[in-house]
Amino acid sequence: MTTQHDPVMDMQVDEHSAKILQQRLDALNGADYPDMVIPYFQGNVRHSCPKARQSTARRAVSSSIDVREIYWSDDDVTALIFRAGTCKKCGFLVRSVIGRAVNVADRPPISGRVGRD
């Protein structure tokens, strides 16, 4: 079953479009729930990785996960921003459950170092 959430909405955001985008994120998480839930603004995550090179059977080692901003928009007016990433060593999945709805003109995608979809 998919849990429904309301996105965090900036001012001047179309509420209907924002809720449709959030429903899509709810469906994605319903089908493939993350191992760790992260806020839409969190750019870096560490977890105890059992497959990190220095890990032993008794001790997992803290390992960094690159988290990308994902920017969804159907109409180039309203967008939903959230973050997701996967541990390259063990596949541990982190993703936001609640996105932030923004006006595309006010908050375009981050460019440069941080990847995006």
- Give the shortest CB-89-to-Zn ion separation in angstroms: 5
Q: Which is nearer to Zn ion, 55 or 103 (CB)?
A: 55
Residue 66: name the closest of 50, 52, 87 by CA: 87
Count of residues of this chain found to bind Zn ion when the rule CB under 5 A is applied: 5
9 near Zn ion, rule: CB under 5 A: no
87 near Zn ion, rule: CB under 5 A: yes
Which residues make Cβ contacts (< 8 Å) with residue 47, sequence separation at least 6? 35, 36, 62, 63, 65, 87, 92, 94
Tokens of 45: 């995550």
Select the residue interacting with Zn ion from 81, 84, 90, 102 (CB under 5 A): 90
Look at the block and give the residue holding tokens 């977890």. 47
Select the residue interacting with Zn ion from 5, 24, 68, 89 (CB under 5 A): 89
Backbone angles phi, psi at 37, to 5 degrees: -90, 130
Q: Which is nearer to Zn ion, 60 or 110 (CB)?
A: 60
Whether residue 21 contacts residue 59, with contact meaning beta carbons closer than 8 Å, is answered with: no
The contact mask relative to Zn ion for 13-52 (x = CB under 5 A, - = no) is ------------------------------------x---
The residues that touch Zn ion, with contacts defined as CB under 5 A, are: 49, 87, 89-90, 92
